[in-house]
Structure 1
């Protein structure tokens, strides 16, 4: 289904930063989007949490959390605050994918093994929050993503920020992504955080590029599972084959044809068998089903011609293994 905007009925308009549509439609909650749209509509005007709440249906407390989220995402300026009797007007800042210079924690960026994580007690964490506004803000916005934080989650966030050196907006992006795919266990989040630190992924732009790459890989695997009619997730070894096929540029159509050939020959799914078929085709210069089928047809014709010349039974030559499928198991 296609959709078209009815431009003829537009009245007054206001701008929405491209980064919001490009990076946060999946990661931000509906309430956070509502608050941002209202703030953008009222740019230059003083707004109270109560006014925003009345116009968006979002509670005043959630309004403040949403503003903090967009501040940490660098969509609103770090000075932005919801107006209270003594608060300043909300101001929007030009969008940048770079974090403010003073937002980089002075930390050891080396990747630590899980057993080197922090293990602060509740009182120690409270003391850290008292001393660090960054950690305090991280906890608050993390709760809007993960719900009430447990001690282990708080330790994990401190570890990502203070030890891995990930910036606040990157940690928020990571947590939002993990929540969007419903994988919010601490071990999974820390595994990705460690990889990002090792790969020096420490801006929103870099984090979004990495997320897109991860999603593309997940979608590729899901398509392979569908082709192979797999009920369980691929094993580590099977994932290695899948990644090789993706990197080699094998089309889904060609992989499916190799799968069909495998079922015909051995009547079961065998990644190693499929891989050898694909490599054999590639080495022979065939990278599409049409090219493979043309080569098979030529092979059959040659065999039939040879059979005719030798007055042999054609059926004997129809039971062949295509030259492009010859490989050792």
Structure 2
């Protein structure tokens, strides 16, 4: 198949070091490439690790590993990460090859059990990369077999029967030092609350049910679960935002809801003008602007 580059794409470009293409394309992982492209494209803003994680839908561990990889390659400069830390993370990212997996399965009955149980749960033979990941979770991350199988079951129940999702959850829990089934169950309960709260917010705002940013996730839980903000109140905040800004702004809506909460407003009637007010049935958008901007 022959191909040509569409010249129109060059109307909006950014600088990309040729060394990445010349030296590291064969060496880097897919996540490494995604992260460095995102960083280079957003270089003027210098995105945080969390922002990169949210934008690319990859774990914080993968982001850190990618940054350390490119720092070790000399593409990025990191002032606060020692060479020891770089070596530790890069070494940790290496997964066992097929021979190592087979050897570990013979040496350790726990690994043999882990692979067999996961295969039963998947309902098929495991692929080489899947067995490598499972052994890596046990040997390198140090997770207990029961906890790994708990994560596998959680992934299946959420229709995400893939090793990338399992690895993402496992590395996140390892960072949070979740080591027991009891801690895992509490984390799953919290994740369910986050998901339910975000679903309520999306429905109230009339927006697509996408993966939320960390801020959206945290505030959704606060509004729905802690402050008990009703869907009607959420929709009212959204409507006020759009009427005022002519666009959807999560940050602006957050200020509106915080103001209502601080003033003890519990229902829509509390925020609507009274019948004898001058602006009957309307909102004083200018007043809302002053109230919101007074905290900036």
Q: 1:327 deviation in Å? A: 2.6
Structure ID, larger Rg: 1
- 3-state SS, counterpart of residue 126 of structure 2: coil
Q: 1:252 deviation in Å? A: 3.2
Write the distance in 2 (CA, Å) between the matches of 1:120 and 1:161.
11
Q: 1:320 deviation in Å? A: 3.5
Write the distance in 1 (CA, Å) between the matches of 2:186 and 2:168.
18
**Relative to 1, partners in 2 of residues 1:209 and 1:241: Cα closer, same or farther, differing over 3 Å?**
closer
Q: 1:115 deviation in Å? A: 6.6
What are structure 1's unaligned runs of at least 5 residues?
1-111, 305-313
What residue number does 1:271 align with?
250
Structure 2-normalised TM-score? 0.59
What residue number does 1:151 align with?
128
* Structure 1 residues 94-243: aligned runs within 5 Å: 113=89, 116-146=92-122, 147-231=124-208, 233-236=210-213, 238-239=216-217, 241-243=219-221
- 3-state SS, counterpart of residue 273 of structure 1: helix
CA displacement 1:266-315 (0-9 Å, x = unmatched): 4432212211211222233324334323xx32xx63x54xxxxxxxxx88
Q: Contact (CA 8 Å) 1:175, 1:189: kept in 2 or not?
A: yes
Structure 1-normalised TM-score? 0.54
What residue number does 2:270 align with?
291
**Relative to 1, partners in 2 of residues 1:220 and 1:114: Cα closer, same or farther, differing over 3 Å?**
farther
CA displacement 1:113-167 (0-9 Å, x = unmatched): 5772343222221111111100000000001122321222112111221222221
- 3-state SS, counterpart of residue 179 of structure 2: coil
Q: Report the count of equivalent residues.
A: 203
**Relative to 1, partners in 2 of residues 1:114 and 1:177: Cα closer, same or farther, differing over 3 Å?**
farther
What residue number does 1:261 align with?
240
What residue number does 1:249 align with?
227
Q: Contact (CA 8 Å) 2:227, 2:261: kept in 1 or not?
A: no
* Structure 1 ranges of 4+ moved more than 6 A: none
What are structure 2's unaligned runs of at least 5 residues?
1-87
Greater RCO (CA < 8 Å, at least 6 residues apart): 1
- 3-state SS, counterpart of residue 327 of structure 1: helix
- 3-state SS, counterpart of residue 211 of structure 1: helix
Q: 1:222 deviation in Å? A: 1.5
Q: Contact (CA 8 Å) 1:281, 1:324: kept in 2 or not?
A: no
**Relative to 1, partners in 2 of residues 1:234 and 1:276: Cα closer, same or farther, differing over 3 Å?**
farther
**Relative to 1, partners in 2 of residues 1:222 and 1:113: Cα closer, same or farther, differing over 3 Å?**
farther
